[in-house]
Structure 1
Amino acid sequence: MAELAERIRRNFLWLLLPTYLIAYLLPGPGVYAANLQWSRGLPEAAAIRLPMLLVAVLLLNAALEVNTDALRGVFSRTRDLLISLAAVWLAPAVVVIIAGALFAFSGSEGGGGLLLGMILVAAMPVANSSAGWTQQSGGALAWALALVVLSILLSSVVTPGMIRLLGMSLSASEVNSVEEVVHRFSGVAFIVWVLAPTLLGLSIRRVVGEQPVRSIRPALHLSTSAAILGLNYLNGSLVLPKLFPLTADGPQSPEPALLIAALCGAVSLCLVGLLAAQLLTHWLKCDDRDRLALKFALSMKHTGLALGLASTVLADHPDAILLIILTTPIQHLIAGLVSKRYGVESDE
């Protein structure tokens, strides 16, 4: 099993690419599975759905492998942690400001919707799946979990403020809608699907010790890989057929200029996170595993929350929704490239 897990890790990008192709050509099972839920006697935010279960698996697996001394070490580096958290929002904000200046300089009338989409993505906390990619690539799991949990906790204050700061004009009712959606993601849903599996994994690790966890590490890595592929299939099956609908005349797509601009915006938001992580970790004198964790954390945004906000306050801006939809597969593909190029064998 250890050999299989390592082989999958080394070739994970080549599993990720066909996952999107299958999601496009055979979306039915993914759409059905993504929409299944069990909510009897549960709050709406805690309803059991397959995507959230897969997220919980990623966080549980990552927490099981976290060395508690390493976690304490992260929180003892208060300055480094605060700087890294600030970079989660400040790095993509730079891209948004530059994009806004370019749209204004070019006099483009169609750039407003894309800019709104970029603002929403930039204002998001760290994606839950960044912890899975960190584990799959041998990065520092303590850093990954700390940035996921803390950024989501802070998002209830930071995200609405960032949206207003970056110039997104909202009415009073839209501001209330933004705050309501963010609180929903950072309230019960956060406790059930992010905090609970993280604390459960840390508790199990503390009770059973390192050796039993080390013995099942290949199984953990295989289930993490399966969860990442499953999430990407579910997301792909929901969005790709809508972006590129199949007709009798073949696949249709958005206007080429719009699609290229949206792709450039989404890629830029991911790449600036990688650049920020590279510069930060050099300045903070981090090792390779810390650097990997920060690369995933700063380049992967919580696009599920962004889509929830977009459908609430930007329903009449399809260009914004297009950019957010494209950001999800792009950041996973870039994560796959980072994993293949910089991934190391885990020793957590």
Structure 2
Amino acid sequence: MMIRMVGTVQRWLLALMIVCYLLAAVVPRPGEVLRTVALPVLGSGSSVTMPMILLAVTLSTAGLGVRVRDLRTVLGRPVRLASGVAVNALLPVVLLPVAALCLRAWPDAAEVECLAVGLLLVLAMPIADGAASWGQNAGGNVPLVVAMVVGSTMLSPVTVPWGLTVSAALVGPAGVGSLDDTARIDGLAGTAGAAAFALALIVLPCLAGIIARAVVGERRTTRAAPVVKLVNLVNILLLCYVNASGALGQALSHPDPDFMILAVGVAGVVCCLSFLAGRWISRWTRCDTPDGISLTFATGMNNTSAAAVLAASWFAHRPQVLLPILAYSLLQKLAAGLFGTRAAAPPAAQA
């Protein structure tokens, strides 16, 4: 019964996410209240918000799904693993300036800046744990994509601040000029910003899940898997609702159809370019079909939940920053379904 329920929720996850977005737009108040809930961290003077807790739960349950023996099988081919992690980390410095150049003609500079910041936060995030399940469904090399997710996650305290700093410089006043003021991004990229966020809410929860699986054992973990997956799916949907409640509620109360269309369109183009970059690199490096699928999904899918939580924390005064992030979250799942049905051909078939 539980397994059937989990399978049903997984099949309808995208539709349920859209429902959560609609609820956030029509009934945003509960989500806005949940976003303000904060628990103090003893001895630090700081607090942990509800979106942060939900994000940590999501990543810890993702860690529970990682088998250490699968990671060991990938270490014999480190080039494939390194290429996926490296390409994902380089995406913001490659794609964001291109998007910023295309947006220069848009008449509203404030809207362009919100789009640039939202895309910057998404592209700087590590590989989404959902890349493993999408890659598996498409016939990819599951241990390889799992290793890419773990490697990208563990390196995120370094790669996220680096991506934010370099990308902000490229699209700031000294670069393309889409960001008039990069001071907040620079502050976010500092030690107390993105690095601490990535370590506390991305790396440590994932490690906790991996360690818990090793301690509990494979047999008990397998028995508990349906319950853990169901809890994770509910947690993901609640996080979607909470993240979207502020931005979409304001979007309806102060409608701006032009900006919404622009946010969806630009997020869709950047998302497709991310997947295409992975597809091209898999062909250029002559990956076999399973490895090529894994590289494509690792390159194309970023942790949008982490980006949304970070945006809500650092850019609460500009809720429009969340719109391209929320759009990207849905669109990358649509793109994953599209690219999953058009797997890369093996090198021998490409001649």
The two structures have a TM-score, normalised by structure 2, of 0.77
Alpha-carbon contact 1:23-1:237 (below 8 Å) kept? yes
Please identify, of 223-232 and 147-156, the stretch whose mean Cα deviation from structure 2 is larger.
147-156
* Number of residues of Structure 1 aligned to a counterpart in Structure 2: 324
**Which runs of 5 or more residues in structure 1 are unaligned?**
246-251, 344-348
Where does residue 300 of structure 2 map in the other structure? 295
Which of 226, 229, 250 aligns to 1:221? It is: 229
Where does residue 12 of structure 1 map in the other structure? 13
Secondary structure of 1:48's aligned partner? strand
Over 3 Å counting, the alpha-carbon distance change for 1:21 and 1:82 in structure 2 is same
Shift of 1:205: 1.8
Counterpart of 2:58, as a letter, is L
Where does residue 186 of structure 2 map in the other structure? 179
Shift of 1:70: 2.5
Over 3 Å counting, the alpha-carbon distance change for 1:75 and 1:125 in structure 2 is farther
Over 3 Å counting, the alpha-carbon distance change for 1:43 and 1:29 in structure 2 is same
Where does residue 330 of structure 2 map in the other structure? 333
**Within 5 A, what are the aligned runs for 1:108-147?**
108-110=106-108, 113-114=111-112, 117-118=115-116, 121-122=119-120, 127=125, 130-132=128-130, 134-135=132-133, 138=136, 140-147=145-152
Counterpart of 1:58, as a letter, is T
RMSD: 3.5
Alpha-carbon contact 2:134-2:297 (below 8 Å) kept? no
The two structures have a TM-score, normalised by structure 1, of 0.78
Distance 1:91 1:158 in 2: 8
Alpha-carbon contact 1:19-1:232 (below 8 Å) kept? yes
Secondary structure of 1:130's aligned partner? coil
Where does residue 158 of structure 1 map in the other structure? 163
Higher RCO (C-alpha 8 Å, min separation 6): 1
Secondary structure of 1:240's aligned partner? helix
**Within 5 A, what are the aligned runs for 1:69-88?**
69-74=69-74, 77-88=77-88
Secondary structure of 1:5's aligned partner? helix
Distance 2:135 2:6 in 1: 11
**Within 5 A, what are the aligned runs for 1:218-297?**
218-245=226-253, 252-254=254-256, 256-282=257-283, 283=285, 284-285=287-288, 286=291, 288=293, 291-297=296-302
Alpha-carbon contact 1:92-1:269 (below 8 Å) kept? no
Distance 1:38 1:263 in 2: 34
Alpha-carbon contact 2:115-2:263 (below 8 Å) kept? no
Counterpart of 1:117, as a letter, is L
Counterpart of 1:265, as a letter, is V
Shift of 1:222: 0.8
Counterpart of 2:63, as a letter, is A
Shift of 1:55: 1.1
1:37-95: CA deviation from partner (whole Å, max 9, x where unpaired): 111524355x2322112111111111111121322445554433443334225445444
Alpha-carbon contact 2:276-2:296 (below 8 Å) kept? no
Shift of 1:336: 3.7
Over 3 Å counting, the alpha-carbon distance change for 1:86 and 1:111 in structure 2 is farther
Alpha-carbon contact 1:31-1:238 (below 8 Å) kept? yes
Shift of 1:242: 0.9
**Which runs of 5 or more residues in structure 2 are unaligned?**
137-141, 176-180, 342-351
Distance 1:37 1:301 in 2: 17
